[in-house]
């Protein structure tokens, strides 16, 4: 399995190389040259597999022999041990043909654990084998950071630096990151927004000269292909549980960096019959405007009750556009470079492709709160604000009520007490047992200005010997 860049000018890599990188040297993102294809009969044969056995079937072809099967199987078997539900990703029914897929049963209570528990173990395995030390830089709007820290904190070959927007993540999210005080974990609160953090991380990948020569820079954000790969699995798992592949299923996905829904799009390209993919956004609705109206113009980032989706510049949309432009790397390079400085439109042909693949809907804070309240009233099921946006978008954009519609519940409501209590829930939702002492633990975090040179100095000064 080879991985190529969306901008067409970088050397192809194998899985191990792509795991240990971030952006391609031409500024693009890596994607598989060819996707594995599964027949309906093959997929149907997986209906009784456990989550981990299914994950192995889907992940193994992407690894392309870089890790022996027995070792890969052991890594995947270990990946979900800390999930709190035996199904790993349980489905909960809200109404006739309306479901939520709970992706928050992992250690940090968000869907990011699915990929970052695996990524941490893959990195540990590969780095031990190569006896190599690396630096991780990641940007978070609240959830990737803690999931990456939990996934990687035991890896002695990794120093991890996580940038989050200062005072713009929830208290639970911040404490999940800053109370992990192992020496190789560094939290940086940037005086800026998530886009600022993400653009500093991407700039670091584009020019790595700030790092000592013996350290490679590795990504934990969804620019890292391995993140996307692990997220494909739960689309198959949910569809199989609801009668797939011989019955189509629809998905609604709370969206920010476009990694999660892109994984759903890949699942369908790999052979899973999916009826509809709904891109659900908050008021930061560039993706909704682009998908519905070919308006790909950047607007000021707004802070909302769903802070993890407060993202304007969405990394993985480029991966999807690459396909919608018939894999024309030069056209994507031109489009993405112009997108930095001007309002762009995608070509008519690419727009038609996008419209074929996705529906979209944007939900503001007022409606988010209303949906949390309505769903709780109707079924006593408490949604977090991100998942509520997914449910609301599913209801608004749904095309066929005979098809099961699955909303990805991307976070646990206890991470976002503000939104939940605005919806009339009488108290802060309880944190699961393993986090009961979160608010008593000491925190370690460094506040830095929105300045790349200062962030780089901090990174270099804190790399362990
Ligand atoms: C809780 C939650 N929901 C949804 C999203 C959006 O997912 P994606 O960035 O993969 O589109 C995020 C962050 O990315 C998140 O943390
Ligand atoms: N919502 C994310 C933003 C980063 O997204 P990623 O999937 O690219 O890591 C977060 O919670 O940090």
Does the predicted model carry a pTM greater than 0.95? yes
Q: What is the ipTM of this complex?
A: 0.99
| Residue nearest atom 12 in ligand 2 by C-alpha distance | 140
Is the CA virtual torsion 270, 272, 277, 280 positive or negative?
negative
Q: Is 144 in the pocket of ligand 2 (CB under 6 A)?
A: yes
274-313 pLDDT, tens digit per residue, is: 999 999 999 999 999 999 999 999 999 999 999 999 999 9
In the reported structure, the alpha carbon of residue 289 is separated from the centroid of ligand 2 by a whole-number distance in angstroms of 20
Q: Is the pLDDT of residue 44 over 90?
A: yes
Q: Verify whether ligand 2 is closer than 6 Å to residue 143 (CB atom).
A: yes
The percent of residues in the chain predicted with pLDDT above 90, rounded, is 98
pLDDT(409) > 60: yes
Which among 420, 441, 440 is positioned nearest to 430, based on CA atoms? 420
Residue range 178-226, pLDDT digits in tens:
999 899 999 999 999 999 999 999 999 999 999 999 999 999 999 999 9
Q: Is the CB of 61 under 6 A from ligand 2?
A: no
Task: Report the nearest atom of ligand 1 relative to the CA of 112.
Answer: 16
Contacts of 231 (CB under 8 A, 6+ apart): 111, 114, 115, 259, 260, 263
Residue of 100, 101, 103, 111 to mutate, ligand 1, most atoms within 8 A of C-beta? 111
Tokens representing residue 61 in the block: 């072809």
Q: Where are the alpha helices (DSSP H) in 92-190?
A: 112-130, 143-152, 171-178
In this prediction, residues 101-110 reach a mean pLDDT of 98
CA distance 63 to 32: 10
Encode pLDDT of 75-98 as tens digits. Answer: 999 999 999 999 999 999 999 999
Residue 400: per-residue pLDDT:
96
The ligand whose atoms approach the alpha carbon of 222 most closely is 2
Give the pLDDT confidence score for residue 21 in this predicted structure. Answer: 95
Residues annotated as part of the active site = 112
359-362 β-sheet, strand order: 91-95, 98-102, 405-409, 249-254, 274-281, 359-362
> Residue 138 C-alpha to ligand 2 middle, in angstroms?
9
The bound ligand whose nearest atom lies closest to the alpha carbon of 265 is 1
229-242 pLDDT tens trace: 999 999 999 999 99
Q: Which ligand is nearest to the CA of 197?
A: 2
Cα 104 to middle of ligand 1, angstroms: 12
**Where are any strands of DSSP class E within 266-422?**
274-281, 359-362, 405-409
Spatial separation of the C-alpha atoms in residues 160 and 137, rounded to whole Å: 6
pLDDT at residue number 350: 97
Q: What is the pLDDT of residue 361?
A: 98
User: How far apart, in Å, are the Cα atoms of 196 and each of 137, 165, 301, 312, 387?
Assistant: 14, 8, 10, 10, 25
Q: How many CB atoms lie within 10 A of CB 130?
A: 13
- pLDDT score of 465: 57
DSSP secondary-structure letter at 376?
H
Q: What is the pLDDT of residue 168?
A: 96
For residue 151 and ligand 2, the question of a CB distance below 6 A is answered with: no
The pLDDT score that the predictor gives to residue 154 is 85
Output the six-digit token pair for 133. Answer: 């030390």
Spell out which residues line ligand 1, taking CB within 6 angstroms. Answer: 110, 143, 222, 254-260, 308-309, 386, 410-411
Rounded Cα distance between 16 and 299, Å, is: 37
Average pLDDT of the chain? 97
All structural domains of the chain, each given as residue ranges with its CATH number in brackets, are 87-107+226-422 (3.40.50.1100)
Residue 412 scores a pLDDT above 90:
yes
What is the 106 CA–ligand 1 centroid distance (Å)? 15
CA–centroid distance, residue 197 to ligand 2 (Å): 11
């Amino acid at each position: 399995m080879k991985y190529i860049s969306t901008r067409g000018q970088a050397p192809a890599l194998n899985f191990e190389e792509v795991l240990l990188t971030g952006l391609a040297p031409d500024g693009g993102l890596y994607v598989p040259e060819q996707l594995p294809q599964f027949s309906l009969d093959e997929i149907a044969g997986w209906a009784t597999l456990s989550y981990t056995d299914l994950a192995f079937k889907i992940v193994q072809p992407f690894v392309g022999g870089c890790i022996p099967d027995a070792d890969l199987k052991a890594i995947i078997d270990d990946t979900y041990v800390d999930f709190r539900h035996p199904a790993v990703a349980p489905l909960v029914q809200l109404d006739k043909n309306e479901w939520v897929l709970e992706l928050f049963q992992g250690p940090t209570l968000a869907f990011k654990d699915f990929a970052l528990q695996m990524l941490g173990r893959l990195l540990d395995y590969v780095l031990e084998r190569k006896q190599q030390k690396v630096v991780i830089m990641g940007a978070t709007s609240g959830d990737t950071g803690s999931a990456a820290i939990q996934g990687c904190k035991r890896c002695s070959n990794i120093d991890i630096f996580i940038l989050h927007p200062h005072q713009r993540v929830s208290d639970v999210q911040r404490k999940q990151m800053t109370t992990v005080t192992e020496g190789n974990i560094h939290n940086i609160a940037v005086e800026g927004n998530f886009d600022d953090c993400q653009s500093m991380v991407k700039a670091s990948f584009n020019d790595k000269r700030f790092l000592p020569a013996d350290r490679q820079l590795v990504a934990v954000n969804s620019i890292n292909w391995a993140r996307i790969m692990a997220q494909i699995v739960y689309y198959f798992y949910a569809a199989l549980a609801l009668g797939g592949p011989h019955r189509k299923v629809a998905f609604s996905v709370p969206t920010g960096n476009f990694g999660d829904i892109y994984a759903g799009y890949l699942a369908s390209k790999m052979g899973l019959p999916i009826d509809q993919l709904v891109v659900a956004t908050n008021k930061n609705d560039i993706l909704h405007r682009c998908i519905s109206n070919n308006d790909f113009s950047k607007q000021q980032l707004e802070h909302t009750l769903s802070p993890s989706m407060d993202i304007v510049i969405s990394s993985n949309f480029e991966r999807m556009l690459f396909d919608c432009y018939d894999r024309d790397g030069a056209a994507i390079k031109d489009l993405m470079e112009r997108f930095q400085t001007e309002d762009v439109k995608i070509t008519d042909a690419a727009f038609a492709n996008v419209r074929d693949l996705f529906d979209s809907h944007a939900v503001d804070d007022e409606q988010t709160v209303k949906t949390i309240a309505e769903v709780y009233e109707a079924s006593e099921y408490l949604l977090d604000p991100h998942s509520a946006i997914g449910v609301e978008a599913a209801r608004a954009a749904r095309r066929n009520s005979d098809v099961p519609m699955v909303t990805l519940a991307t976070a646990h409501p206890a991470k976002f007490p503000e939104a939940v209590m605005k919806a009339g829930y009488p108290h802060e939702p309880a944190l699961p047992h393993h986090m009961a002492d979160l608010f008593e633990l000491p925190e370690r975090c460094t506040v830095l200005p929105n300045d790349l040179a200062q962030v780089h100095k901090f990174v270099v000064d804190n790399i362990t010997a």
